[in-house]
Amino acid sequence: MQKTRTLTTEIHKHVGERVRVQGWLQSWRQLGSIHFLVIRDGWGQIQAVAESEAEIAPLIEAEAGVESLVAIEGLVESVPQAPGGIELHNLAIELIEPIRETPPFPINKRKINAQLSTLLDHAVITHRHPTRRAVLRLSSVLSQAFRESVLTRGFTEIHTPKILGTTTEGGANVFKLDYFGRPAYLAQSPQLYKQIMVGVFERVFEVGPVFRAEEHDSTRHLNEYVSLDVEMGFIENHFTIMALLRDILADIIGAFQEHCAPELELLKANLPVVPAEIPHIHFQDAQELILKLHKVDVRGEPDLSPQDERWLGEWAMKEFGSDFLYVAGYPTKKRPFYTHTDPERPEYTNSFDLLFRGLELVTGGQRLHRYADYLEALQSRNMSMEPFEHYLEAFRYGMPPHGGFAIGSERLLMQLLGAPNVRLTTTFPRDMHRLVP
């Protein structure tokens, strides 16, 4: 067989011709004297039908099982009842690598029948299942769509360091490491670096890992995740950032619809519509609304509870028909020191959370941009200036009003797909108990 290889996703263009495919023997069923093989390659799969044992002799002779590596040449026939409407006939098989061990659980059934911990322990194999591949393909498209969206808006990509000499957002929840005998920390976010780089390129973004030593053991926390970060200069206030986030989300969902129709169908994903303008409510008004609608007085609380968020999500759907709702103006005492306060009401900030179906999805806002404001903010929180000395230099020499946000890639995917656990939206999750594979 010297024929050029055809990818499974290209076979439909060759009906009536002979093609050569390569891949994994995903399944092998026998019905009477007929053998149905499914070959999976990196992009899709194809059914190959052998009318006789002679056609599949190399597999039988080598006692090759599922996941064996094979090359199959066959005639492409249009068969309406076949998966995808095409299949291969009159086969010639070359066995590239026989596999005789059986995977720890079947990875060729419609659903994977295994507990979450088993799935994760064997992620190396689990990811070969079509549903896992679909999720990870969506994750890949998500990063790409995010980058394309911001690049068309004039943003410059930056790569900021992940090993830091100081903690970015306070000392808690940070992984410590030994850096040539000195203490160092893993970046909890690129926050201060992306702000600094606004002083260089005005609009910057980064897609990269962040590390949180949080002792959460929940379905929606990871200790290492991919953060999609944006920071933009010369804004009016946080509403500029909220409009930007809306457009980026619409681009991401548009990219899913354009490039991932088969994956979305397989996962039965019900993607939301991003309204032309996402409705917003002030934090204080949200608390008043909860009192009015649910007779629960949360006024004065510095943050919203998960129940509050669900109520607000319901309200946004009923009132605006929107899956999304911005809550803006969170109290100053609950937000980090770099958050810009509301010039009219300094006990509130120019920051926001984006709720999606009643769950927090993205946090963002306007940042302080004056050196003197930073000194005051640190002082009022009894924080030392010293660890921030280098970062503050950017503000001494001119920074425009700016702001941004960070999207947790895995959590966004989890919520868009309605996945039950964030661990299922990444390749090899890291949690309090899991460091392998």
Tell me which residue has tokens 């008043």. Answer: 288
238 among annotated binding-site residues = no
Neighbouring CB atoms inside 10 A of 84's CB total: 15
Distance CA 197, CA 237 (A): 19
In whole angstroms, the minimum distance from the beta carbon of 204 to a copy of itself comes to 9
Is 169 annotated for ligand binding?
Answer: yes
Q: Which is nearer to a copy of itself, 148 or 288 (CB)?
A: 148
| Of 15, 17, 39, residue with least CA distance to 27 | 39
**282 vs 369, which CB is nearer to a copy of itself?**
369
92/54 Cα distance (integer angstroms): 9
| Beta carbon of residue 123, minimum distance to a copy of itself (angstroms, whole number) | 8
C-beta of 309: minimal distance to a copy of itself in Å?
A: 27
Cβ proximity to a copy of itself: between 162 and 294 the closer is 162
Q: Which is nearer to a copy of itself, 163 or 385 (CB)?
A: 163
DSSP secondary structure string, 204-238?
EEEEEEEE------STT--SEEEEEEEEEES-SSH
Which of 67, 43, 207 shows the shortest CA–CA distance to 136? 43
Q: Is residue 370 a known part of a binding site?
A: no
For a copy of itself, the closer CB: 44 or 313: 44
Residue with tokens 């309406």: 80
Q: How far is the CB of 219 from a copy of itself (least distance, A)?
A: 18
Report the distance separating Cα 352 and Cα 246, nearest Å. 13
Work out how close the CB of 33 gets to a copy of itself at its nearest, in angstroms, rounded to a whole number. Answer: 27
Q: Which is nearer to a copy of itself, 223 or 415 (CB)?
A: 223
- Does 363 belong to an annotated binding site? yes
Does 411 belong to an annotated binding site? yes
Q: Is residue 361 within 8 Å of residue 410, measured between CB atoms? A: no
Cα–Cα dist 147/154, whole Å: 11
Q: Is 212 annotated as a binding residue?
A: yes
Q: CB of residue 430 vs a copy of itself: minimum separation in angstroms?
A: 5
Known binding residue 409? Answer is yes
In whole angstroms, give the CA distance from residue 67 to residue 332: 56
Q: Report which of 222, 161, 225 is spatially closest to residue 190, judged by C-alpha positions.
A: 161
Binding positions for L-aspartate are 169, 212, 363, 367
Binding positions for ATP are 212-214, 220-222, 360, 408-411
Binding positions are 169, 212-214, 220-222, 360, 363, 367, 408-411
